[in-house]
A and B are shown apart, each in its own frame.
Chain A
Amino acid sequence: MTTGGAAEQFIRVAAETTEAAPSPSIHVGQAMRRKEDPRLITGKGSYVEDINLTGQLWAAWVRSPEAHARIVSIDASAARARKGVHAVYTHEDLDIEASLPMIWVPPEIEVKTPHHPVLAKDEVNHVGDPVALVIGDDRYAVIDAVEDIVVEYDPLEVVVDPEKALEEGSPLVHEQLGTNKVCEWSLGGGDLEAGFAEADVVIERRIVNHRMAGAAIEPRGVLAEFRADRLTVWSSTQVPHFLRLFLSILLGVTEDKVRVIAPEVGGGFGSKLQVYAEEIGCAWASMKLGRPIKWIETRTEGFMVTHHGRDQIDTIRVGAKRDGTLTAWHAKIIADLGAYQMLLTPAIPPSSAFVMCGVYKTPAVQTDIVMVMTNKFGTDAIRGAGRPEATHMIEVTMDQVAHELGMDPLELRRKNFIPPFSNGHETPIGVTYDSGNYGGALDKLLEHIDPADVRREAEALRKRGVYRGIGFSTYTEICGNAPSRVIGPKGFGLQGGGWESATVRVHASGAVTLYTGTSPHGQGHETGFAQIVADRLGIDPAQVDVIHGDTATGPFGLDTYGSRSLSVGGEAAARAATKVAGKARQIVAHQLEAAPEDIELHEGRFSVRGSPDKGMTLPEVAGAAYVPDNLPEGMEPGLDEQSFYDPENFVFPFGAHACVVDVDAETGKVSVVRWVAVDDCGPAINPMLIDGQVHGGITHGIGQALYERIHYDESGQLVTGTFVDYALATAAELPSYETDRTETPSPVNSLRVKGVGEAGTIAASPAVVNAVIDALRPLGVDYINMPLTPMRVWEAIHEANGGVRA
């Protein structure tokens, strides 16, 4: 998956990789209510903010009001003298040499990466860059003290526009690097030139995929305690295991002495897939002072210094023959990375490249990416991370092609769909999609909505000045991170693996705990994973306690992001449970004097095939395993098994979405009036959890298309720094979504599942844009960039009208 191919890296997956034996689906497939909800909705969840330790102090940060400036002086004397203040630290005080981490080192490509300190040294590079850390008795004391600190800045020239940042003579974000260009990265396959030469029409569009925030309901927070040589850090993070590793590296405490706990985490959407300065800084201060240190992010800080996503300027070209056959895709991406490269920052834009032909057979596909730094905060993974950008380009352009050819957009799609496949389809760039039936998903979608009906409604509404339109998106995406050899150092270049782990522990009483290495933060793993384990052990999901997010309790894991939890972590859980069941069978066979092959799960008991009255329940088996006076020869006592699972391939969920909008042509206001979604993530473990993910995902995509936007002005000031300006869609703006599924099994894992956490977001934004353009075609509007704010839509109508006011 590096530049220029390595197609052979991608797998031919087969049934032999599916080690976990099938088991009866009693609980799997049921729309079980979430086990975690009673405690969450009755206020019994415990978030970082809820945890307080004896002797705890608070932290606050002095942040740069300048987007780019030299620090001339810092006067903290008044703050130090303030009652309740224990310490004020600046860069000089920190003895942390290493940079905050960035873990993408692609073979043969130099990624220009500035040193990223915990506290700014000599220079600030974005608004919010931390300059000093204040520690005091309580939150009020430290925030008051922050206002006492006088920092003198000598402003430097600012660059916020990535295209300008690439120009000769542009101000440099990091002078010492001599350029704002981070790297170029390409991925392609097939003969592009021939593809375009063959085309009867070539459509090119410039698509701005603007910056957005994760905007999780729970802000970030850290509580760090260093006591008796051990460092414990509670953090509102998606990645406790990553954080532990980097705390160890940056602070010089061996990994065994570092424990990270992600307690209840109120959402992340990628924004908590990070190792943040605040996490390292608070841990450092707790080591320095020997006191627990707590910091809770304010919402203002959240918009300023919790990583953003997207921010691409895309130029997409597509070639097609008269009959609609696609001949080539070529995407040029300018990716704005912001001022520092964070954990995965430069590895995100390439994710667009992996699905740059979408669900369409196209002989030639090429993606060329230029990554550039600006005086804005860093971008990194936000729900979809690269795939929404690709899907947006592809699906919006498909409608443009259809219009150009005078074809129905769905007919154009059908003409180019990769035909149904169940065990691998290799695209020109060497990515092997696992399974797909794109026409099937579209058929299902059209059972719920008939475009002809919408057109009839549109006709009637137009008399009232309301323009109704319908837009579609047929997508696939790449998730389930990931096969280690593909994403790792010798492949794509991430300095890590992609496996996941699970431990299933049957206690002596027969109670069951599943420890997962994934780290859920709202998705519902405690329910879905319990369903998987329960079926394999013949018990009820209520009897499976799912423990996660604590590096000291479970096995080593790789946490939750990239829609990986179920297809990698859930599979690991299934495998661990299968191992336990295997041992249980042997114990039962031994005790009941039967052959292990003849032991089957029947109505919650391990019983002998053909004689269901002869059997043992799980508690009875556990008793035998922990009071080991009658175990098979050579068998170790205990009933506790672990599995590490490294997938052979990614998984590729897909689907078809339809969006109906009404546009008030006089004001430009867009209302989404109907949404139908058919998503295919393989057989459902729990349809209700899928619906939850799809609903949230669509909302995120509509949010980007119509409402949400992180915007910096020319001087690098963040304009959208509160929820007044950063417009998150609310229930009042959204229709009730209609969801359905098709279920195409994945050959990659034994559960046959694919991820669904990001799918809705990946699908949604182009459907909205297509619907709005469809609505406004009668007024001559051909294309509009997101976000489709009323003014932007009004201006587009206005321009299409030749400047005449609508």
Chain B
Amino acid sequence: MIPAEFDYTAPASLEEAISALRQGGEDAKLLAGGHSLLPLMKLRLAAPSLLVDLRRVPGLAGVARGNGTWRIGALTPHAVLEHTPELGVVSAAAATIADPQVRNRGTIGGSLVHGDPASDLPAVMMACEASVTVQGPSGQRTIPALELFQGYMETALAADEVLTEVRMPVLDGWGFGYEKFNRRSEDWAMVAVSAVVNARDGTCEDVRVGLTNMGSVPLRAPAVEEALRGKQLDAESIAAAAEQAAEGTDPPADLNASAEYKRHLARVLCRRALEKAAGLSS
């Protein structure tokens, strides 16, 4: 519970932050809400030599909508997403993160870059086909959420890059469902499933399903999507499609959930999320 020694800086601009990261080298880390990084440091599972706190960098927080796109600043706390219901499945997922303290401090940028497959937002971003804007020493680039998560707690960002913004297509008219399964309300997901569905006249035009904690990275469930796309959206087709939810997954077992149980949960939660998205349940 006592972190190792580290230096701390809170630069006032993005440029300064990036150069501080560069000068700090491999062991420098950005600090956003601190609700993933600081626990690791206190347990001495992480020991960065320098923390570059983003809190004074202007323009990194807030939610805006324009041209069919949501723009969410990296420092936007989960609580703001939770209280922006127009964000649909993102809002629903944010509302399930831990408790109010964590939601007030934790940020979307931190959650995505931390890259924990058990976190709620990463798979949701994949289901929403969002992308992130990152800024580094040699400029800005865009990474689709589908390419962001490279391995267990490993993302496509370089050590000296800052995630500045999340961009996400507006999904007006799409139905959504977020089903998170945990033992206690404040726990991380044992498994969670996010579903967004675009239906016309009862037919599923498009559907995307995200899987949380079903592998070393957040996943999509392509077999479910294929099974449902173009089908009549009813309980039967949903149940049949949801049976594919664990297809190709290799979830890690832990004390409270075997791989088999997690696969079972994925199927159940997938069906429930799709039923919600299709308006068959509330």
Contacts and interface: CB of A to CB of B under 8 A. Distances in A.
Interface of A: 139-140, 143-144, 147, 298-300, 666-667, 669, 707, 711, 719-720, 722, 724-725, 727, 729-730, 732-733, 789-791, 794-795, 805
Contacts of A139: 2
Interface stretch (B16-24, B57-65, B129-137, B258-266): B258-266
Contacts, number: 54
Find the residue from A667, A733, A791, A805 having the highest chain B CB count within 10 A.
A791
A783 to B, nearest CB: 20
Contact of B5 (A140, A667, A719, A722): A140
B153 interface: no
B268 A667 contact: yes
Nearest to B269: A667
B158 interface: no
B2 A298 contact: yes
* Pairs of residues from A and B, 9 with the lowest C-beta to C-beta distance, nearest first: A732-B185, A298-B1, A143-B2, A791-B261, A666-B268, A789-B256, A733-B184, A719-B255, A791-B257
A622 B43 CA distance: 57
Interface residues of B, number: 22
5 contacts: A140-B2, A143-B2, A144-B5, A298-B2, A669-B181
B59 to A, nearest CB: 34
Interface string B73-106: 0000000000000000000000000000000000
A299 B186 CA distance: 18
B186 A730 contact: yes
A421 to B, nearest CB: 42
B168 to A, nearest CB: 29
Nearest to B44: A147
Contacts of A147: 4, 44
Given A139-B2, A140-B2, A143-B2, A791 B185 contact: no
Contacts of B268: 666-667
A667 B184 contact: no
Contacts of A727: 183-184, 187
B255 A711 contact: yes
Contacts of A795: 261
Contacts of A669: 181, 183
Nearest to A791: B261
A791 B261 CA distance: 7
B184 A730 contact: yes
A790 B185 contact: no
A732 B265 CA distance: 22
Contacts of A720: 255
Contacts of B181: 667, 669, 790
Nearest to B261: A791
Contacts of A730: 184-186
Given A298-B1, A667-B268, A794-B264, A732 B258 contact: no
A669 B181 CA distance: 9
A794 B261 contact: yes
Nearest to B47: A147
A794 B267 CA distance: 14
Contacts of B261: 791, 794-795
Contacts of A299: 1
Given A666-B268, A791-B261, A144 B4 contact: yes
Interface in B181-222: 181, 183-188, 190
Contacts of B4: 144, 147
Contact of B265 (A667, A707, A722, A729): A667
A300 B1 contact: yes
Nearest to B185: A732
Contacts of A732: 184-186
Nearest to B4: A144
B255 A733 contact: no
B264 A805 contact: yes
A506 to B, nearest CB: 46
A732 B181 CA distance: 15
Nearest to B3: A140
A368 B139 CA distance: 74
Contacts of A729: 184
Find the residue from B183, B187, B265 having the highest chain A CB count within 10 A.
B183
A241 to B, nearest CB: 30
A17 B277 CA distance: 71
Contacts of A707: 183-184
B46 to A, nearest CB: 14
Given A724-B188, A730-B184, 14 more contacts: A144-B4, A147-B4, A300-B1, A300-B43, A666-B268, A667-B268, A669-B181, A707-B183, A711-B255, A729-B184, A732-B185, A790-B181, A791-B261, A794-B264
B281 to A, nearest CB: 10
Given A140-B5, A299-B1, A790 B255 contact: no
Interface in B8-53: 43-44
A789 B261 CA distance: 12
A495 B123 CA distance: 60
A790 B183 contact: yes
Find the residue from A139, A722, A789 having the highest chain B CB count within 10 A.
A789
A775 B278 CA distance: 31
B256 A791 contact: yes
Contacts of B43: 300, 722
A461 to B, nearest CB: 15
Nearest to A721: B43
A790 B258 CA distance: 11
Interface string B158-190: 000000000000000000000001011111101
A789 B265 CA distance: 14
A612 B69 CA distance: 85
Find the residue from A666, A707, A722 having the highest chain B CB count within 10 A.
A666
Nearest to B2: A143
A699 B243 CA distance: 37
A733 B185 CA distance: 7
B2 A791 contact: no
A794 B261 CA distance: 8
A160 B132 CA distance: 48
A428 to B, nearest CB: 41
B37 to A, nearest CB: 15
Contacts of B190: 790
Contacts of B186: 730, 732
Contacts of B5: 140, 144
Contacts of B183: 669, 707, 727, 789-790
A791 B254 CA distance: 11
A724 B186 CA distance: 9
B271 to A, nearest CB: 9
A57 to B, nearest CB: 15
A789 B190 CA distance: 12
Interface in B214-265: 255-258, 261, 264-265
A298 B181 CA distance: 30
A729 B1 CA distance: 22
B133 to A, nearest CB: 32
Nearest to B281: A464
A692 to B, nearest CB: 22
Nearest to A139: B2
Contacts of B264: 794, 805
B6 to A, nearest CB: 11
Find the residue from B2, B187, B190 having the highest chain A CB count within 10 A.
B2
B184 A725 contact: no
A707 to B, nearest CB: 6
Contacts of B256: 789-791
B17 to A, nearest CB: 26
A109 B186 CA distance: 48
A140 B181 CA distance: 39
Contacts of B265: 667
A321 to B, nearest CB: 42
A725 B255 contact: yes
Contacts of A298: 1-2
Contacts of A794: 261, 264
B48 to A, nearest CB: 15
B153 to A, nearest CB: 15
